[in-house]
Amino acid sequence: MQDETRFALLDILEDRYGNSSVIITSQLTIKTWYNSIDEPTLADAIMDRLTASAHRL
């Protein structure tokens, strides 16, 4: 994932966190998401917002 994409995703998730729903579909496992984001600090922030109150199907 490129820097622009990481920051854009984090911005979107922060704007919606606690205010609105977000639907994410992926075939990647959570561990794979960390590897795909490829920046530990941003990966932690993004995954925290995605998984904190997530309903996984």
Rg (CA), the chain: 11
What pLDDT is stored for residue 4 in this prediction? 92
pLDDT at residue 11 above 90?
A: yes
CA distance 49 to 14: 7
Average of per-residue pLDDT values in the chain: 86
**pLDDT tier, 55 (very low <50, low <70, confident <90, very high otherwise):** confident
Q: Whose CA is closest to 21, among 13, 29, 11?
A: 13
Residue range 34-54: mean pLDDT, rounded: 87
pLDDT of 36 above 80: yes
What gap in Å lies between CA 55 and CA 20, rounded to an integer?
14
Over residues 8-28, mean pLDDT:
87
How far is residue 18 from each of residues 5, 12, 14, 23, 39, measured CA to CA in Å? 22, 12, 9, 14, 24
